[in-house]
Amino acid sequence: MLKVDNVSKSFGDVQALTDESFEVHKGEILGLIGQNGAGKTTTFRIVLGLMKPDYGNVKFDDQKVDEEVLNKIGYLPEERGLFPKMKIEDQVVYLAELKGQSRQVTKNKIDEYFEKFEIKGKKNDKLKSLSKGNQQKVQLMVTLIHNPDFIIFDEPFSGLDPVNAQIFRDAILEEKEKGKCIIFSSHNMDNVEELSDRIMMLKNGNTILNGTVKEVRNSYGRIKVFLESQLTAEDLEQISGIKDLKEKDGRFEITLSDPEVGKEILAQAQAKGSFQEFSQQPLSLDEIFKIKAREN
């Protein structure tokens, strides 16, 4: 288990993190979200032992982050850090060796990872000869090939096409099934909502959301209605408590000021006769992210 306890960090007059606390249990994915400058990168650097906090501490399995713990960590950075002119096998073996895995063990695994991640290329190719997507898959192999217990995926889907993005999703979920502790960061809230067990949102170094995806979404109530019926836009505009109304191809997306307003909409739709759809749901994580980002 990863435990971050009351971590604070400042740079001069800028408070990058304030009393940050969270846990990531085995077999759990924490989605860490926030706008640029919110404190995500500082969090990663402190967790990885690259930076010391002003206050607080970080432990993995009740042990401070030292060289032994670092060997148990896999890190997929947002900015890829491999050597473009070096042969793929050579650098995968070298980087895994830095994590304490023998050269032969790594060599025995490389073909398996090439097949699993559908890497288009050969292990003796120089990295620069591969497409960007395949280079990212090599970076994923480097992250996982030493079998880490704790993994950070920072913007793993950046620039990937849908097929390669699915390979990354499958890899992340497979590591979760193996019982790994995982932190996953992305600006794509659909990915965060799909993959994360818990989410934490940072803003100006402060934690402003923390809970399961269901808890966070339900905290705003079921104020989103999707409706396809005999009701017109004019009918709906007469109902008090509708904050926003959008229509596309006869289907309405309605945002309510109070979840109870949904009962009135349903009653009026039923009174008009048959209807094709009525669905009342919580806000999406993307909508909540935008609301929290705009709050003072």
Domains contained in the chain, CATH given:
2-218 (3.40.50.300), 224-294 (3.30.70)
Handedness of CA 125, 128, 134, 135 (dihedral sign): positive
Percent share of the chain, pLDDT over 90: 89
Residue 158, pLDDT score = 87
CA angle 30, 33, 38 (to 5 degrees): 130
With a cut of 90, say whether residue 25 has pLDDT above it. yes
Calculate the average pLDDT of the chain: 94
Residue 80, pLDDT score = 78
With a cut of 90, say whether residue 195 has pLDDT above it. yes
With a cut of 90, say whether residue 9 has pLDDT above it. yes
Element (H, E) at 75: strand 73-76
3-state DSSP assignment of residue 232: coil
Q: Which one-letter DSSP state was computed for residue 205?
A: T
pTM more than 0.85 = yes
